[in-house]
Structure 1
Amino acid sequence: MSSTRRAAVLGSPIAHSLSPVLHRAAYTALGLENWSYDRFEVDEAGLPGFVAGLDDSWAGLSLTMPLKRAIIPLLDEISDTAASVEAVNTVVFTGDGRRIGDNTDIPGMIAALRERGIEKVESAAILGAGATASSALAALARICGGPVTAYVRSEARAAEMRGWGERLGVDVRTAAWEDADQAFAAPLVVATTPAGTTDALAAAVPGAPGTLFDVLYDPWPTALAAAWSDRGGKVVGGLDLLVHQAVLQVEQMTGAASAPLAAMRAAGERALGER
């Protein structure tokens, strides 16, 4: 096996990705001088050819949209966590040439919440119904003791979220996006929508709200996160999620017992500050 070890993040678009900043900071802190981490613009059509062209210097891949599902047929095995949401964001190449897929977004969400003192909640709300929402549901399956209400824009999305709930063992209830301000009564609100989508809801944040987990990190803070913080609520941001899931990726790809969380977060904060 090559003494040089390579890893990268793949997706489309990919230029915005902070993953290289986080992983390279980890390599520096861990003294892994022969490791490199890059980014590659790869779409679903180009993914099979890219993976087929990798040599034995490759240790792992990070996958972002739209590749988290497309990668699955190219793998030898996926973890139960990844299978639960049919999404892989991490691939590790083993010494015997096997490709193992995992999902670190789900435990990353749980770790980000735990870092802010959120271990268990009795109920929760999710804003949105995309791929990130299903990962949020999988995380809530482990920490939420009661119902989760998803606020969505269509009945098709509502049915999809209820289906994920049945699969993950979560009591999912759905409501119209027009009533999304009612989500703020929940002790934990997870916002999974694209930039700008929740801006109009900022004025509806009540006094002394619970915890908001907004998965965005650029631009930051979002209007919703800023209003939440101003009204005394606890806020967990997208950078928290990104760092915690990257910590798990670094540990899996390098074999390190503990990735340098603080150094990775500091690198991410610096990079965002320079944008």
Structure 2
Amino acid sequence: MVNRAAVLGKPVAHSLSPVLHQAAYAELGLTDWTYERFEVGQGELASFVGERDETWRGFSVTMPAKEDAYALATTRAPVAERTGAVNTLVRTPGGWAGDNTDVYGVQQALLDAGFDPATLQDGVPVILGSGATARSALAALTDLGATRAAFVVRDQVRPATQAQAAADGVTLCGVDVAAAPVVINTVPGDAADSYATSWDSPVRSGQVVLDVRYAADRTPLGSAVTAAGAHLVGGIEMLVHQAAAQVVLMTGHDAPVAVMQAAGRAAMAAR
């Protein structure tokens, strides 16, 4: 019997999740697994998933449906409960199990880039944005040892994000972006580039900036970050690791991370 999976979101045509998952299936010899993409907007997830038959084994969920996925899940992993967001749905006999592999993806992308968690003892990490992805970034930083964090937002930090910080014992404070040991951009699209001026001056030595957008190095923000002396990490690195965790959850097989990284980086180079 065929086993089917897909990424759901809107827009989703740009998603590299199919490239990563299909590369994993090929390496693992899972010839009975397929992975597709479907446009599913906010409020449409429950009806879409409800119309799928039992050949559908799992879904990767991206914006704007992560909170809808949280509501749909019959059971949720602790990290999903903690962040109020689900990016992974896996079929079980009792319904859909929800998980949030974005947290793992952020952690591994930072560690791969050489980020030293010890710098969180004297430095305050900065997160651009305060939505569902920002809550995953906050959880990742907290698990790496952060007890303080700063959010840069247009208005106010979302209540759900403030509540998560309080529950995790994280103090929210202000900080100069240039002094942060790590900055994570969770703002989608071109809106993030309005923050480029925060890097008009040199930054703390060793600063790592993770931009969840795939082509971070091709943006005004990425150019400013690099010019200021920070180490820029593109969102493809986070995507690889969160997808690897999804492969494990959906198929039960260890993910071939190196193969997935090579496939993701090659796809980015071809764009």
TM-score past 0.5 threshold:
yes
1:241 matched to which residue of 2? Answer: 238
Deviates more, 1:37-46 or 1:20-29: 37-46
1:149 corresponds to which letter in structure 2?
A
1:133 corresponds to which letter in structure 2?
A
The answer to whether residue 97 in structure 2 is matched with residue 103 in structure 1 is no
The structural deviation recorded for 1:139 is: 0.9
CA distance in 1, matches of 2:97, 2:186: 27
CA distance in 1, matches of 2:220, 2:204: 16
The answer to whether residue 266 in structure 2 is matched with residue 270 in structure 1 is yes
Deviates more, 1:35-44 or 1:212-221: 212-221
2:167 matched to which residue of 1? Answer: 167
The structural deviation recorded for 1:207 is: 6.8
TM-score, scaled relative to structure 2? 0.89
Contact preservation (8 Å) 2:196, 2:224: no
Contact preservation (8 Å) 2:130, 2:158: yes
- Matched position secondary structure for 1:91: strand
Kindly report which structure 2 residues correspond to 1:196-235, keeping only aligned pairs within 5 A, or say none.
196-206=193-203, 208-218=205-215, 220-235=217-232
What is the CA deviation profile of residues 162-215 of structure 1, one whole-angstrom value per residue up to 9, with x for unaligned ones? Answer: 33311332111247xxxxxx2121111222223323333343343735221222
What is the CA deviation profile of residues 52-98 of structure 1, one whole-angstrom value per residue up to 9, with x for unaligned ones? Answer: 1121211100001111111223221011100111100001112x252
Equivalenced residue count is 264
CA distance in 1, matches of 2:161, 2:56: 36
CA distance in 2, matches of 1:210, 1:112: 14
The structural deviation recorded for 1:231 is: 4.7
1:261 corresponds to which letter in structure 2?
V
Superposed CA RMSD in Å reads 2.1
1:169 corresponds to which letter in structure 2?
G
- Matched position secondary structure for 1:69: helix
Deviates more, 1:115-124 or 1:226-235: 226-235
Deviates more, 1:156-165 or 1:38-47: 156-165
1:148 matched to which residue of 2? Answer: 149
1:268 corresponds to which letter in structure 2?
G
CA distance in 1, matches of 2:88, 2:198: 33
Contact preservation (8 Å) 2:101, 2:245: yes
2:177 matched to which residue of 1? Answer: 183
The structural deviation recorded for 1:225 is: 3.2
The answer for unaligned runs of 5 or more in structure 2 is: none
Quickly say closer, same or farther: Cα 1:165–1:93, change in 2 above 3 A.
Answer: same
CA distance in 2, matches of 1:240, 1:143: 18
CA distance in 2, matches of 1:191, 1:73: 25
CA distance in 1, matches of 2:204, 2:136: 29
Deviates more, 1:4-13 or 1:132-141: 132-141
Identity %: 41
TM-score, scaled relative to structure 1? 0.87
What is the CA deviation profile of residues 244-266 of structure 1, one whole-angstrom value per residue up to 9, with x for unaligned ones? Answer: 1000001110100x211122122
**Match among 253, 259, 263 for residue 255 of structure 2:** 259
What is the CA deviation profile of residues 74-124 of structure 1, one whole-angstrom value per residue up to 9, with x for unaligned ones? Answer: 221011100111100001112x25210000001111111222233522231
The answer to whether residue 72 in structure 2 is matched with residue 74 in structure 1 is yes
1:263 corresponds to which letter in structure 2?
V
- Matched position secondary structure for 2:265: helix
1:178 matched to which residue of 2? Answer: none
CA distance in 1, matches of 2:220, 2:255: 32
2:132 matched to which residue of 1? Answer: 131
The structural deviation recorded for 1:268 is: 1.5
Contact preservation (8 Å) 1:150, 1:161: no
CA distance in 2, matches of 1:146, 1:46: 37
Contact preservation (8 Å) 1:161, 1:172: no
- Matched position secondary structure for 1:157: coil
**Any runs of at least 4 consecutive aligned residues in structure 1 with deviations exceeding 4 A, and if so which?**
158-161
Kindly report which structure 2 residues correspond to 1:87-98, keeping only aligned pairs within 5 A, or say none.
87-94=85-92, 96-98=93-95
2:109 matched to which residue of 1? Answer: 112
**Match among 17, 37, 41 for residue 35 of structure 2:** 37
